Each structure stands twice: as C-alpha cells, then as structure tokens.
Chain A
Amino acid sequence: MLGNISTLFIISIIIAGACIKLFTDKKKGDHCSGCPYSKIGNQDCSCSDYLPLGKISKLNK
C-alpha cells in the first residue's frame, strides 16, 4: 500500500513538474519549451517577439 502511494506520488510529481514547466513557458510567450530560439530577449519576449506582418499592416491601417 505504502509502495503504491509512494509510486503514485512520484509519478504525480514528475508529471505535474513537466506540466508546470510547459505552462510557465507558455505564459512567458515561448512557442515551445526548450526551443533555443525561444530565448531571444530576456523577459516577456520569445522567438515570437515581433508582430507578424499581417498584424503590422492592420496596425498601420
């Protein structure tokens, strides 16, 4: 019983840790966790740290 609880706890910790990392990276604006191209800039910017051309033209309008 204790073995089951411990194993379940460890599995939960591992999966929750991975989910939290994914969630926080997504919140920071990274397209995908771990992508070396996501490290452009140091705060809220990511590899998507630009306005896509379509949005630029819309803003200009």
Chain B
Amino acid sequence: MRIALAGNPNSGKTTLFNAITGKIEYVGNWPGVTIARKEGDVKKALNKGGSKIRVIDLPGAYSLSPFTTEENITSEFVKNENPDVIINIIDVTNLSRSLFFTTQLLELGIPLVIALNKSDLLKKKGIVVNSLVLEKQLGCPVMETASTTGSGLLELIEQAKIVYGKTQSAPFTGYSKSASGQAADDKLKHERFAFVNQLVKEVEMRKVASSKQTIQDTADRIIANKILGIPIFGAIIYLVFSLSQTYLGPLFADYLVGWIDTLYDYTEGLMGAEVSPVLSSLLLDGIIGGVGAVMGFLPLIMVLFFLLALLEDSGYMARVAVVMDRYLKKVGLSGKSIIPMVIGTGCAIPGVMATRTIRDERQRRTTAMLTPFMPCGAKLPVIALFAGVFFSDAAWVGTSMYFVAILVIVVGALIVQRITNEGPSKSYFIMELPDYRLPSLKRALISMMSRAQAFIIRAATIILVCNAAVHIMQTFTWSFQVVEPGMENSSILASISSPFALLFIPLGFGVWQLAAAAIAGFIAKENVIGALAVVYGLTNFIDTEEFELVAGAGDVASVMGLTSVAALAYLMFNLFTPPCFAAIGAMNAEMDSKRWLWAGIGFQLGVGYTLAYFVYQFGTLITTGSLGAGVIPGLAGIAAFFSIIAYLIRRNDQKLRHDLKEAV
C-alpha cells in the first residue's frame, strides 16, 4: 500500500512523516522546507498488520492547480502516480485555508483520510473543531493528530488501512465545473471558497477572533520590524556565536582534543622508533593530526548547530526572512530568494537547490549564484579556527561574516540586475509566518546529531583522503625523493601552490602553505583546517598554547606568518570565494547555463579576492600606518575585475537605449 502525505505548507507533513516512518528528515518551522518528495515505510510500532506500507511525503501545496515547481511535484504525483490512499494533513488551527485543497483532493476519487494536525494547540488557541460534523460533511474519516507528540498516529494509519481499496466521493459540487475558460475557473474558485467558508462556520468555534491582535502579533511588530529587525538578528547571532565559541563549545572541545592527543601519543608509542619516519609521519601528522584538527571543532559546531536548530524551531528564522525580503526585492531578487539563503546557512547545496521554487529564470540564477556566499556549516569550523586563534574567540568575527555575506548578496544582486538590464521587479511573495513556539529540545538534538554525524563522516572520508594527499605531496619531491629538512620549498605541494601564493601576496598570505590550504578548501571547506594542520605540523587548534611550542614562536601569528589583519583577510577569502565543488555542481544543475555558471564562479572569485584585498590593505594601514605588500598588482587585478563588470553594465545600457530607440 502506498500512502501520499499531502497538505498545505507548514502543516507538519514532514514532522508527521518522520513520526510514522522513524526517519530524520529535515524539518523547519516555516513553509517551503520540503522541495522534493521523500519516501519511507511505516515503522512497526504503528503498523499492526505488518504488511509493508510505503509513505510518500510531498511538498506543501495550496491547490492542485500548481503555481510553483514544488506544488507541481505534489499535483503530478497525486494525479498521475495513483497512490492507494491520501492522508491530507491539515493545520487544524488554520482550517479555512486548508480545506480548499482538501475539496480538490476529494475529487480525485482516491480514498482520503484527514489528519487534523497540531490538535494539541487547539485548547491553547481557544478553538473547538467538531471533527464528527466535518467527517460527515466531507465523507471521509477525520482524525485528530499531533505529530510532535505522536498522538493519534496509530489510529491514522489504521484508518488508512480501512479506506484502502474503497472509492471516494466528493462533497463539493460546484455548478461551474462543466464550463471551461478563465471566467469559469474563477467562478469555480469562488464557489469552492464559499463552500469551505460555510463548512468552517459549521464545524469551528473560535473563542478568540482571528482578527484580534495577539501577543505574537505584537512581538512580530518588533522582531520583524524593518528597522529593528536587523539589529535584533545581529544580537541573536552574536549570542549564538558567543555561546558556541567562547563559553560552551571550548568547554567540551578541550576534552575531545585531549582524547585526540592521547590517541596520537598512543599510536606514536605503538609504532616505536623502528617504523620509517615517512610512514609514521603520514599516519600521525597526515591522518590522525589532520583529521584530529578538524574534529577538534566538533563540539563548537555542535553547540552552534543546536542553537541554530532552536532558533529555526522557534519560528524566528521565518521572521528573518520577512525582514530581509524587502531589501532583496529592492535589488531585483524574488521575495522567495531569502528561503534558499536561510537554508544555505546549513549547507549551500540544498540552499542552491531551493532556488527552484523561484519561477523567474533570471532571479533563480542570480539567487543560485549568491546563495553560496552565506556561511554554511562547513565554513563554521574555519570561522571558529580563525576567531579562536587570532581573535581570542571573539564572537564578532562569526557575526560579522553573516552581515558581510548579506551585504555581498545585496550588492551582488544589484550588479547582476544592472548587467542583465532588469528594472526593480514586482514580486508578490507572501510568506505565512508560523506561530512562535517553545523550541523542542528533542528536535534540536536530533538536528544537531544529524549534522554532527555528517561532520564526522566528512572528516573520516573526504578530509582524511585530502589530508593524506596533502601530506604525501608535502613529503616528496617531483622525483619522488623525500624532502630534506629545510628544503620544504622543493616539495610537490610547494611547487603547485607557489604560483597561487604569488597571487595572494596583495592579500597578506602569499606563502605556499596557506595557498595550498585555500586550494584544498575548494574540495570541502573544512579541508582548510586539515590542510593547515598538515602543512604546519599542528594537531590542536583549540589549545592555542600549542602554537608557542611549535617553531618556538612567541605568538600565534608567527607560526603561520600571519598578522591578525592578514588572518581576517584569509578567512574572508575562504568564505567568499566559490563554494566546494559539490555546491558548484548544484549551481550548474539549477542555473542550467554554462555562461551563468562561469560568470557566477568568476564573480565569486572576484568578490572573495576584492574583500580580502581591502581588509588586508586597509587593516594594515590602520594598524601599522602603511599599506601592505603588493598594493599595486592587487589593485590592478581588482581594477580588471571591476572593468569587466563596468563593461558588461555599459554594454547592456547601450542595448537598452538601442531597444528604446527602436521602440520609439
């Protein structure tokens, strides 16, 4: 038996899907989280008969006449793939909006069970729904459920089994159904709305009028305010970074780093002196040291992920979307562009994928180009490393990276708008704000553990392989001789990285070791840490006292040969240049244009380089009174980048004028 879960956005479909299948799919307290269908089997505890029941979670839809791509997925599935039963999930606190879609689903003839979800909120909101009357009027079973607590799920599955194989009648019989054309369609919609409104009057009783201002409305006036919203967002992100990087994170990180050091020492002791230094160094410094350096950040980012999950679950991130929406619309992006960017803070790949909900091709491609600027989960350990070792765990480093990202996105969107010659577009994005709620610790823990597991797997696979490769390339020359002490510049790694290092002189990090780490970051951003650990022979970035033990350096800066300003420039270069290859692949798929893809990569490279250049040069000027090395060559490179942009803008302006003349 195949059951399709269908319903309006943010009605709790994925939460219900997770509850009945035992899966851990990504859920968010805002509409539009699910953009593709997901499948799973009903878990044994809810499936008494034992026969296999397949459940398909579909993206949210308001109607069977699709307006967006994800609505199209839902519409196509229920119409063409013949599920045996449809479970229509309805947000019971928002009945009138949900039943429009229900009446359409009932017309398909497929047996339908209605899940009145979020029923646990009814009492709190002072709403009474007579499910028996609703059941009678609609002609299908109606069950009260609460997917967050698991209430009513067993009965829901049992009802689905009962209706399986039966026929379904439709209660709504609008007289315009037989007619065709736009006018008839509009009339049919009005009739359907009238039917739904009448039905809601019969079954629902609200003690509090929906038009009355609630505490939530008052809170939204402040939190989602166009002026106050931004400093509030800044303060919250600052708090999140402070807790994860300054207070809670390092507390746990010290233990983990201690264990990694113990493993290092134990392995070293086990090998003894008889093992070749090349092999022992590969195992100790390349594999254990490199992966260990990345793993040391696990507690910090676990705390960060936990806090971000709490924020998402509370409904706050949807407010951030509303605050940012008005700014993005002004620079020619769709109001929907904010959703991919918020998702991109977790991982750029699903963020880029989420751009598919944007209908306008130019806006979709622009959003796919700009979304990777948001600091994703893989970039967080890099931020933590630099904030920790160069800025004494200052929370402003991480916070400012989010604001720089937003600024880059806004300016980038403006530039693309000018290049593609589009005026400010009208975008009627209406985002339904979910209610604020006390975030679930369980959901935040699940989210945190899922991301932590991902982090560990990445450290044990792609980062391990890259670190081993970096170590081997650093150990041998091109003639495959072991590099002599003091002759590190003759290694394979040094010879590959050195030409790139020349380009980085104006940015303050023109040494091959840092260039090699930055290049490794294009495979996966966490690789920056692993590669730095390997090339500098460090295993522990958490306890900064270790730096003093390495190379006899008196401070952290001299180990890497970086000033704090250059370190900030290096961090910005790594954050704002193109994302990892996997995310570039997603950009390629969504943009569906090689020209846009290469333009996007070029733009990201130019932005990353420019930001790093100005941070280093101005920072050096402020801190030392003189500009850093390579001012003129760097400026020439940046001038070339902006000349190309200016040329493209000018070319399009001319084209526009030409088109206008022809039109006149």
Contact = CB atoms under 8 A, between A and B. Distances in A.
A53 B356 contact: yes
Contacts of A42: 23, 39-40
B341 to A, nearest CB: 16
Given A39-B25, A50-B35, A54-B592, 6 more contacts: A18-B464, A21-B457, A21-B460, A25-B461, A32-B349, A53-B592
B272 A36 contact: no
Interface stretch (B275-283, B560-568, B602-610): B275-283
Contacts of A22: 461-462, 465
Contacts, number: 121
Interface in A31-59: 31-37, 39-43, 45, 47-50, 52-56
B298 to A, nearest CB: 13
Contacts of B24: 39
Given A3-B275, A31-B586, A36-B450, A50 B349 contact: no
Give 8 closest A-B pairs by Cβ, nearest first.
A54-B592, A34-B457, A52-B589, A34-B454, A34-B458, A3-B275, A32-B582, A31-B582
A37 B287 contact: no
A33 to B, nearest CB: 5
Contacts of A39: 23-25
A53 B69 contact: yes
Interface of A: 3-4, 7-8, 10-11, 14-15, 18-19, 21-22, 25, 31-37, 39-43, 45, 47-50, 52-56
A36 B26 contact: yes
Contacts of B592: 52-55
B465 A19 contact: yes
A48 to B, nearest CB: 7
B279 A37 contact: no
A33 B458 contact: yes
B350 A32 contact: no
Contacts of B453: 34, 36
8 contacts: A15-B464, A19-B465, A35-B347, A35-B454, A36-B450, A49-B36, A50-B73, A54-B589
Contact of A50 (B25, B280, B356, B364): B356
B464 A14 contact: yes
A25 B462 CA distance: 11
Nearest to B272: A3
Given A32-B582, A34-B455, A37-B26, A48 B589 contact: yes
A54 B353 CA distance: 12
Interface string B432-466: 00000000000000000011011111101110110
Nearest to B460: A18
Nearest to B451: A36
A39 B69 CA distance: 21
Interface in B15-73: 23-26, 35-40, 69, 73
A55 B356 CA distance: 12
Nearest to B288: A14
Interface string B576-598: 00001010011001111100000
Given A3-B274, A18-B464, A37-B347, A31 B585 contact: yes
Contact of B38 (A3, A41, A56): A41
